[in-house]
Amino acid sequence: MTARKESELCLAVRRAVADYLRLLDGEKPGAVYDMVLQSVERPLLEVILDHTQGNQTRAAEILGMNRNTLRKKLQQYGFSNGV
């Protein structure tokens, strides 16, 4: 851990994962990495697409990814017609 202050997002993820593990009450967790990524990725895409008014090219630029990668992710999460 660095001396740099953690972002709100980092703290929220840290708390959410710790809460999730605590709620398992001894049960063995599985696929936590994929669960967390999917839990964060879908709302991230929604917010960015809303911000860009559905402009996928601009959304991809903001996200720092290729537009084709964005389209695949939108399809993966079931966005209708990519949006």
Would you say 52 and 16 are in contact if contact means Cβ atoms under 8 Å apart?
no
Lowest mean pLDDT among 2-6, 16-20, 70-74: 2-6
Numbers of helices and strands, H then E, in the chain: 4, 0
Residue 10 falls inside a structural domain: no
Give Cα 47 to chain centroid, integer Å. 10
The total domain count for the chain is 1
Residue 83 falls inside a structural domain: yes
Tell me the CB-side half-sphere exposure of residue 41, using CA atoms within 13 A. 17
Q: What is the pTM of this model?
A: 0.77
Residue 35 falls inside a structural domain: yes
Q: Work out the burial of residue 59: count CB atoms within 10 Å of its CB; fewer than 13 is exposed, 13-18 middle, 19 or more buried.
A: buried
Say what the pLDDT of residue 5 is: 73
- The owner of tokens 């593990």 is 21
> What is the domain range of residue 56?
30-83
Residue 40 falls inside a structural domain: yes
Residue 62 sits in a domain whose CATH number is 1.10.10.60
Residue 74 falls inside a structural domain: yes
Residue 3 falls inside a structural domain: no
